[in-house]
Structure 1
Amino acid sequence: MDNKAKALVWKASELIRGARDSRDTIYIVTALIATRVAAERAGLFIDKNFCDVEELAAYLSKSLPDLAEALLDATDALRRDKISGLNEMLGYAQIILQTGIDHTELGWLLHDFHMEASGKAGSTLLQRGLAELAVEWTSQGGECGTAFCPYSGSFSFAYAYAAKGIQSVYTTDVLVESAWAKMMSVFCEQRIEVRQASPIHDHLDALKIKERYAQGASFPFWGMKLDSSDLPASSEIVAPHQPASSEALLTQALTYGVEGRSAVVVPPGFLSRTVTGDRSFKEELVRTGKLAAIVQFAGFTLNIASVPPVMLLVDKDGLHTPLMVDASADRFYTKDRYKNHFFGKEALLQAIETEEQSIAKHITIAEAEANEWNLDVPRYVLSDEAQQLQDKLELLPTCALSDVVEFLRCQAIKAEDEGKVYLEANQTDIDGIGFFKRPKKQISISDTKVMTRVKRQRMIPGDVLVTVKGNVGRVGLVPDSAEENWIAGQSFIILRLKPDGPIQDSTYLYRYLNSPMAQQALVSKAVGTGIKTIKMNDLEELPVVIPTLAQVDKASEKQQQMVSLQEQIAQLQQQIDALRHDDWLKL
């Protein structure tokens, strides 16, 4: 039945003409189906033709004034001169309702159409499963009072609450989103109260200091720069941890207004960020026991970004040690081209409830503090293979990487039109057996101050370079053939053996850092929403297995075998090239 309704909605959207794109079409389709549903409930018969949206709104204004206003707001915000096909669409709306589809399910169907039509440039909507997961968790064990869903990206939560029979309050600063939300509320018995909020800096001020909610869920604005001087005075009450990122400030506002449980979707970068407000807010959540869990989902589950979203589960009535949950496993998703569709709500809720060891781990306040309040889930929850490597590492004699090497940070070097020529190495200059080839990139430097910095980045034979930005963990060894004008690019940190350190063989260090054991440790320390980075203190504390003399000799022997095999491959390739061209030279 739902598939039939879905096909009919697609067909109905083809009747709308004059809309700029599919997203605008869905706005109109939603409005007209909502009009038909609301009219039937009110006993209002729509049995006439309408010239335009304005005439339809005028007809509805007496019996359904709120819906008429929302209809006008939506079409006005779309700025269309003429939308046609209304009467045909209203007729199709009646056919859709005759399929017997539940109104709430019809709303979810339109929600999903809207999400697909919006894409990355459109409205922020969440997959139904993610929204229902948050609603299920926040509404467990408490009174089903009003739910708070502030900010434009939170509509999916508001609808999920309403679909569960819980009244919700949704705020947005976008007129067309406000109008669409009012029309969507028709499908869930008008359980969504839509409030028009003012622009971003006034969101905090719009909150009523004395207003409280039983639960809430939100998808706040990500990565927006908020100047503290522009924030209202009330922000110091509802969001005391300043300055901070937009997601941290707005999450504070949500948790301030909610008495019980709340769920917030944040970028993974928030977990590792050390900005004053972000860090102190995370510390407060952990120390006070309010942070019940952090759930990290797979990438490509959002319509607006490919980064893996993170859901903070906050419980002001509880006293928790945070449960770190890695919900990126394939068993929670179905694949559709480049998208991950989350369907594992029940399985994940059970895993959280039972604290399933394969994907979840509690952390203590001491652990969080030792990691400087970096709450990145992969730092604490390891895969089975990674855990086996970690267990093995704990049985071996180790020391910190900072005991073995000196660290030379590399910076971006701005090239000049003329001067001394240097060859700047990047990751593509590492060959198949780990040695750096002659770098291809040439830069000229004449400024004496820049020259001093360049000399600090010179690659000396025996240096080991590790990438700490971008494709983190890539390791390369500087060969004896390195020339004096080779320098390391900004994505590297140069590791240079200490004269009195416990390891004196750079080949062993290179091979160890390239091993699965060290690679797992490096990758687990990577942080960042877009471009991954490894922080300096994490690199310094990386455990390194202290070798015996026999292990050092064996590492050197294996590396030499790789060099010999590489030389044989090069010779064989030369023979192949010669055979390919030999006969043609005799024609």
Structure 2
Amino acid sequence: MTTKSPSIRWTAIPEKRPKRAIVVYSIEQQALIKIAHLLRDAGIPATRLVDEIALLTAWARASDEAFGEVSWNEQQPDLRYAFTEMAKRLGEHGSVFEESRLLDSLSGSETNAILGCLKQLSGASGEALAKALVAIAEKVSHPGQMITMATGQFLADLCAPKKKHVVLNHEAAVPALVALEAVESVTMRMLFHSPYAISVSYLMGAEVEVGKAVGFAEAPTLSEVVISMPPLQATGFSQTSKLKSDELATIRVARECTSRGAVCVAPSVLFSRSSMKVREELINNNWLDAVIELPTGTLSNTALSPVILVIDKHREKDSPIAFVEVSEQQSPEETAHLVRSLIDRHEPKNGAFASNLDVQKNDYDLTISRYKPGLAAQELKQLKNTVLLDGVADVVRAQSLKDADDAPDATLFLEASVRDISETGCLGTPLKKMHIDKKQFRRAQNQRIYPGDILLAIKGSVGRVAFVGEDCGDNWIAGQAFIIIRPKSASTSTPYLYRYLASELIQEYIQEVATGGVMALLKAADVSGIPVPLPEPEVLKSVEETHQQILAEYEVIKKHRDTVRRLELKNWPLNAEKGASRV
């Protein structure tokens, strides 16, 4: 008796896809979105959309308050008259209505279509309209650097809970304005008249000051809470100081707030030499409460990951500073938990605490990775029988040299750069020629390189390592992007140190401690402080043998490449007279 095999039915398993968040727009937001489409169709430039929508929203609120509806009537027969009355109502800040482009750009039918949308705003509170406006501004292209609504809420919760008097500096701080609760007085400061910021301030009932947001032209008035969102790394904000905009803003917030403050800065403010005095003032006065790096995208129109410096004038003497790295956008629950952790002084997720003394020992460097060890730094701490790199090798920082090719007494040197490092790790003959005059000769001699030296890039391509072979010329010098590492004894030979510095562990550690915004930088002190395991003789021998094996493999690879190249040129060469065969 035979039995049939049971039939097998293959059922397609549907692919699981992440659920998209359902975006629900309020009535006010829907009306403003329709207005944005109408203005685009009317030819209003994208860079003006938010400003014009803001002016229309502010007028709609004023009309609703005055007449109980948003419409034309005997008191306001058309948009031009309505905007003229708004300009009078706002006094010195009314110029934003006088300069609106809508008055000369919209036809009668376009104006009526927009009016129909504005009627949907009747009965809405100023706060509801302001929040809807900020939400739309986040979705519509708007020039300048603006924080998200979520970031505005985070700053308001962190700095202004149960506070009575708040000052907000710069247009970018508008999202924080609409997030404030139970505040008696709010002042919105901006450098120039911003239709968007002035309209939101009007809707929220905030006082407006123009031209007093940054600088030292006037002694700052004191306020309980100050939140500042300046343009990052901009120049020309002070006639008496060379500090950049966010550096000036940091000092202003620190000196002006009497309770809490927050300022948005570029990452370079945490470590740059130009910002040193700013950091010293914060630390030496025990004002800095937290350093929070936010993810890319938090600030519009920039690729920088903004950093929030939190100021607290009521810190206890030994209270630690929180260093927090927020690597991705947070949910409202996660943000609320972070705020609670910072206020209650609990070590937050992805964060660490450090004392003022710790920061002073680090030369006032506020780079978060210095206080929040990465995986590589933690791994290095586990190594046994180690000594710092400068204990087993001389560490020489190369300096910048100027080419003096027109000097009659100049000496020719060849300056090594990263491009001179071969794939084997060996330093080839430097391509850059430098003519060094007598004034710089001693400095050039100090950065001469010799066989057995190791070069480590500390600027730009940080971490690139090269070893100097026996073919080194007597006029080779290291470029300023390098640190020269010269082993002191055979117990930690050049091959051993080179392989250690080129290892995955150290390369990852270098990336963790490197600073810099546009260009990565590695401090000489960080290189000198790298822990080096002292090897047993058999380990040293094994590493050196491995080094030679790797170099031998590269030689084999080179021969294979040469062979492949010859085969490629066998047919159809550029010069047919060289006798290559033709197919």
Q: Quote the residue 1:463 is aligned against.
A: 453
Q: How does 1:6-45 map to 2 (within 5 A)?
A: 7-17=33-43, 19=44, 21-43=45-67, 45=70
Match of 1:364 among 346, 352, 355: 355
Q: Could you tell me whether the CA contact under 8 Å between 2:458 and 2:483 is conserved in 1? A: yes
1:551 counterpart = 2:555: no
Q: How does 1:570-585 map to 2 (within 5 A)?
A: 570-582=558-570, 584=572, 585=580
Q: How does 1:214-229 map to 2 (within 5 A)?
A: 215-220=225-230, 222-223=232-233
Q: Percent identity?
A: 20
- Give a deviation string over 1:270-294, Cα, whole Å, max 9, x none: 22245563243122343xxx43321
- Give a deviation string over 1:507-561, Cα, whole Å, max 9, x none: 1111112223333443333233433322333333332222222222122111112
Q: How does 1:510-549 map to 2 (within 5 A)?
A: 510-549=498-537
How far apart are residue 35 of structure 1 and its match? 1.4
Q: Could you tell me whether the CA contact under 8 Å between 1:415 and 1:443 is conserved in 2? A: no
Q: How does 1:295-310 map to 2 (within 5 A)?
A: 295-310=292-307
Cα distance in 2 between the residues matched to 1:196 and 1:417? 54
Q: Quote the residue 1:160 is aligned against.
A: 179
Q: Could you tell me whether the CA contact under 8 Å between 1:173 and 1:198 is conserved in 2? A: yes
How far apart are residue 488 of structure 1 and its match? 2.2
How far apart are residue 23 of structure 1 and its match? 1.6
- Bigger shift: 35-44 or 249-258? 249-258
RMSD: 3.7
1:134 counterpart = 2:148: no
How far apart are residue 227 of structure 1 and its match? 9.9
Cα distance in 1 between the residues matched to 2:541 and 2:70? 89
How far apart are residue 379 of structure 1 and its match? 0.6
Query: Structure 1: which amino acid aligns with 2:207?
Result: E
Query: Structure 1: which amino acid aligns with 2:208?
Result: V
Classify the secondary structure of the residue corresponding to 2:382: helix
Query: TM-score under structure 1 normalisation?
Result: 0.80
Match of 1:83 among 105, 108, 113: 105
Cα distance in 1 between the residues matched to 2:538 and 2:111? 80
Classify the secondary structure of the residue corresponding to 1:469: coil
- Give a deviation string over 1:146-193, Cα, whole Å, max 9, x none: 21113454333233326x766421111202x1x4322123444x2x21
Classify the secondary structure of the residue corresponding to 2:462: coil
Q: Quote the residue 1:494 is aligned against.
A: 484
- Give a deviation string over 1:407-438, Cα, whole Å, max 9, x none: 14231432636976544322222222322233
Q: Quote the residue 1:212 is aligned against.
A: 223
Query: Structure 2: which amino acid aligns with 1:332?
Result: Q
- Give a deviation string over 1:41-73, Cα, whole Å, max 9, x none: 222653269999653323556xxx435875543
Query: TM-score under structure 2 normalisation?
Result: 0.80
Q: Quote the residue 1:46 is aligned against.
A: 71
Classify the secondary structure of the residue corresponding to 2:178: helix
Q: Could you tell me whether the CA contact under 8 Å between 1:263 and 1:312 is conserved in 2? A: yes
Q: Could you tell me whether the CA contact under 8 Å between 1:244 and 1:278 is conserved in 2? A: no
Cα distance in 1 between the residues matched to 2:311 and 2:71? 47
Q: Quote the residue 1:586 is aligned against.
A: 581
- Bigger shift: 147-156 or 467-476? 147-156
Cα distance in 1 between the residues matched to 2:421 and 2:493? 19
1:55 counterpart = 2:74: no
Match of 2:327 among 301, 326, 329: 329
Q: Quote the residue 1:314 is aligned against.
A: 311
Distance 1:105 1:379, change over 3 A: farther
Q: How does 1:46-445 map to 2 (within 5 A)?
A: 46-47=71-72, 54-60=80-86, 65-67=88-90, 70=93, 72-76=95-99, 82-85=104-107, 88-89=110-111, 91-92=113-114, 94-95=116-117, 98=120, 104=127, 106-111=129-134, 114=137, 122-140=143-161, 143-161=162-180, 167-175=185-193, 177=194, 179-188=195-204, 190=205, 192-198=206-212, 200-202=214-216, 204-205=218-219, 207-208=220-221, 211-213=222-224, 215-220=225-230, 222-223=232-233, 230=240, 246-273=245-272, 277-286=277-286, 290-319=287-316, 321-330=319-328, 332=330, 344-350=334-340, 352=342, 353=344, 355-356=346-347, 358-383=349-374, 385-393=375-383, 395-401=384-390, 403-414=392-403, 416=405, 422-439=413-430, 441-445=431-435
Cα distance in 1 between the residues matched to 2:166 and 2:421? 55
Q: Could you tell me whether the CA contact under 8 Å between 2:191 and 2:213 is conserved in 1? A: yes
Classify the secondary structure of the residue corresponding to 1:305: coil
Cα distance in 1 between the residues matched to 2:478 and 2:534? 27
Cα distance in 2 between the residues matched to 1:29 and 1:138? 30
Classify the secondary structure of the residue corresponding to 2:364: coil
Q: Could you tell me whether the CA contact under 8 Å between 2:188 and 2:201 is conserved in 1? A: no
Q: Could you tell me whether the CA contact under 8 Å between 2:388 and 2:531 is conserved in 1? A: yes
Cα distance in 1 between the residues matched to 2:215 and 2:378? 48
How far apart are residue 6 of structure 1 and its match? 6.1
Q: Could you tell me whether the CA contact under 8 Å between 2:86 and 2:94 is conserved in 1? A: no
Q: Could you tell me whether the CA contact under 8 Å between 1:404 and 1:503 is conserved in 2? A: no
Q: Quote the residue 2:469 is aligned against.
A: 479
Query: Structure 2: which amino acid aligns with 1:299?
Result: T
Distance 1:6 1:105, change over 3 A: same
Q: Could you tell me whether the CA contact under 8 Å between 2:146 and 2:172 is conserved in 1? A: yes
Classify the secondary structure of the residue corresponding to 2:455: strand
- Give a deviation string over 1:14-60, Cα, whole Å, max 9, x none: 1444x5x4222321222113212321122265326999965332355
Cα distance in 2 between the residues matched to 1:86 and 1:293? 54
Extract unaligned runs of 5+ from structure 2. 1-23, 573-579
Q: Could you tell me whether the CA contact under 8 Å between 1:430 and 1:437 is conserved in 2? A: yes
Distance 1:85 1:200, change over 3 A: farther
- Give a deviation string over 1:414-463, Cα, whole Å, max 9, x none: 26369765443222222223222333x33252634345444443332211
Cα distance in 2 between the residues matched to 1:438 and 1:117? 54
Classify the secondary structure of the residue corresponding to 1:317: coil
Distance 1:105 1:344, change over 3 A: farther
